[in-house]
């Protein structure tokens, strides 16, 4: 296998030419049919990327030389592709794809137990509220999904989240609730995460006499949960082959099953399963996650973009950009290969906000700002939902119109010559025309969902999961560890102990001074 640096340099060389996206539409009358892909309720339009046939051929050749098909087979067969922790990666087995016979039996048994528990809680009527306590993958996935389920599913119980160690998070979660009617779900794979344990302790104190009866746990560390005071029958397991940022499909989603029902959650799993099968079975050139990943490689390693914007034009997907920050940046934000060699130009910065809010904030930069990328700004993934779930058709039409207009404006821009013609003989034309012109030729992808159904949401999240895996293979990094989050956590524990004791240990002058401010 050729050295990754050499392979990625070839992509940079292929991209060392100017491509006019608008001109591609003029030259390629069939461009839309060739650069649009669909899987179930999800349609992806890559036609507004600065990508021509030669570039796509080079990217597919790159994927082949990086042994992508072999790595894909390893992933689904249960080989230990998480090499630094010597673990298999089998979150797809939670959706019924891949895994060993033992995995399948474990998953089937847990899915039945979760559904039975959720049904019992919903029919019993004792609880009216759920407080979901977790952080990172134990929070971002469930929070995103809860927002999205609101579009098409009835919520039987109030669902709140406590994630940040900031006391405001717990205070907001418990505000106005009755402890007797509230079920607390503590979610932590290790059951050692500082924020989750502290929030769990605070909620347990708030529950008072109901602290033992109204608290359950979801964890891979049953002993840790029992030491916390949660009885064995109230602990729901998930396994070391489920990474935290891939865990919403597991017992981590129990709060969602209780609030919205097991059938809704099953439909969510089925949507992801469909994308799993598509990714596993389709050839690379017809494979939607592969195409997503290769477009990202082109923008990052070919065109030199350092960031990627993700803009959902759906308020109920407002946490999607934050969810992807963890999924992609924790997975591929690495500067060492699997073999421990230094590498550069891996994961870009992922950022964004819901449309149309962003149009009144950072879209100025997207349209006219400079960038290290070839064409300025940053590539954008637009995400839109075609069905109106809010019974406000005028609002929905305006929302979609804004989404579609932004992708067109980023591509077409507005030349200085056009601006000058519009301004005529204006006295300040020389000063104003450059300010009012838009360079255009800024790449974007538009993803549309037929509806914001649980099934469509499953498709969408699984698409980005597999995109992330493909990019990790091409960059030759381990997408399934997260050593970068550990050092700060270790130091925080030390500093917390010292602050609780009222004195600082040996630190740099700045850290010592900050600790003294808090202690005094």
Mind telling me the catalytic residues? Answer: 330, 360, 489
308: β partners: 350
Give the whole-angstrom CA distance, residue 418 versus residue 249.
Answer: 52
Give the whole-angstrom CA distance, residue 289 versus residue 461.
Answer: 11
| Residue 91 per-residue DSSP state | G
| Residue 327 per-residue DSSP state | I
Q: Where are the beta strands (DSSP E) in 264-343?
A: 307-313
**Token output for 200:** 């769990």
**How many angstroms separate the Cα of 12 from the Cα of each of 4, 59, 73, 251, 444?**
12, 11, 28, 43, 19
Give the whole-angstrom CA distance, residue 190 versus residue 219.
Answer: 7
Contact 134, 187 (CB under 8 A): yes
183: β partners: 130
186: β partners: 133, 217
Map residue 362 onto helix, strand or coil: coil
CA 428 to chain centre: 46
Contact 373, 437 (CB under 8 A): no
**Token output for 66:** 């990086």
Give the whole-angstrom CA distance, residue 390 versus residue 318.
Answer: 15
Half-sphere exposure of 54 (CA within 13 A, CB side): 12
**Token output for 106:** 């474990």
Give the whole-angstrom CA distance, residue 187 versus residue 216.
Answer: 9
133: β partners: 162, 186
| Residue 299 per-residue DSSP state | I
CA 296 to chain centre: 15
Give the chain's largest Cα–Cα span. Answer: 80
Contact 506, 494 (CB under 8 A): no
**Token output for 511:** 């850290």
Give the whole-angstrom CA distance, residue 320 versus residue 447.
Answer: 13
| Residue 301 per-residue DSSP state | I
**Token output for 217:** 């746990």
**Token output for 483:** 């050593």
Give the whole-angstrom CA distance, residue 50 versus residue 302.
Answer: 10
Half-sphere exposure of 508 (CA within 13 A, CB side): 3
């Amino acid at each position: 296998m050729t050295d990754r640096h050499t392979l990625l340099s070839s992509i940079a060389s292929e991209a060392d030419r100017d491509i006019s996206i608008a001109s591609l539409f003029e030259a390629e009358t069939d461009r839309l049919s060739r650069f649009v892909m669909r899987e179930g309720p999800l349609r992806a339009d890559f036609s507004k990327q600065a990508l021509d046939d030669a570039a796509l051929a080079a990217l597919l050749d790159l994927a082949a030389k990086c042994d992508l098909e072999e790595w894909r087979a390893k992933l689904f067969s249960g080989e230990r592709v998480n090499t630094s922790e010597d673990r298999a990666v089998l979150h797809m087995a939670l959706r019924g794809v891949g895994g060993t016979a033992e995995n399948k039996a474990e998953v089937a048994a847990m899915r039945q137990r979760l559904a039975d528990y959720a049904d019992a809680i919903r029919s019993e009527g004792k609880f009216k509220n759920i407080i979901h306590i977790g952080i990172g993958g134990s929070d971002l996935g469930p929070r995103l999904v809860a927002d999205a389920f609101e579009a098409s599913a009835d919520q039987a119980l109030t669902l709140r989240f406590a994630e940040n160690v900031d006391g405001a998070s717990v205070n907001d979660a418990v505000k106005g609730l009755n402890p007797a009617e509230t079920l607390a779900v503590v979610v932590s794979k290790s059951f050692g995460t500082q924020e989750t344990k502290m929030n769990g302790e605070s909620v347990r104190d708030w529950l008072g006499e109901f602290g033992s009866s109204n608290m359950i746990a979801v964890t891979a560390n049953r002993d840790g949960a029992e030491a916390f005071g949660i009885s064995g029958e109230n602990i729901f397991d998930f396994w070391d082959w489920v990474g935290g940022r891939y865990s919403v499909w597991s017992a981590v989603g129990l709060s969602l099953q209780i609030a919205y029902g097991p059938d809704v959650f099953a439909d969510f799993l089925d949507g992801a399963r469909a994308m799993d099968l598509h990714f596993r079975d389709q050839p690379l050139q017809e494979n939607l996650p592969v195409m997503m990943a290769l477009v990202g490689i082109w923008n990052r390693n070919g065109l030199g973009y350092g960031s990627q914007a993700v803009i959902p034009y759906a308020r109920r997907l407002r946490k999607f950009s934050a969810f992807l920050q963890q999924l992609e940046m924790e997975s591929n934000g690495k500067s060492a290969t699997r073999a421990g060699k230094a590498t550069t130009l891996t994961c870009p910065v992922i950022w964004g906000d819901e449309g149309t809010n962003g149009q009144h904030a950072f879209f100025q930069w997207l349209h006219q700002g400079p960038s290290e990328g070839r064409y300025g700004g940053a590539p954008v993934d637009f995400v839109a939902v075609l069905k109106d779930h809010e019974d406000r058709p005028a609002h929905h039409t305006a929302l979609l119109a804004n989404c579609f207009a932004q992708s067109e404006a980023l591509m077409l821009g507005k030349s200085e010559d056009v601006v000058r013609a519009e301004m005529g003989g204006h006295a300040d034309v020389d000063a104003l025309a450059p300010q009012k012109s838009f360079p255009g030729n800024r790449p974007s992808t538009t993803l549309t969902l037929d509806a914001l159904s649980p099934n469509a949401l499953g498709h969408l999240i699984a698409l980005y999961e597999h995109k992330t895996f493909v990019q990790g293979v091409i960059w030759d990094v381990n997408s399934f560890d997260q050593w970068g989050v550990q050092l700060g956590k270790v130091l925080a524990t030390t500093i917390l102990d010292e602050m609780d004791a009222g004195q600082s240990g040996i630190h740099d002058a700045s850290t010592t001074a900050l600790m003294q401010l808090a202690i005094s």
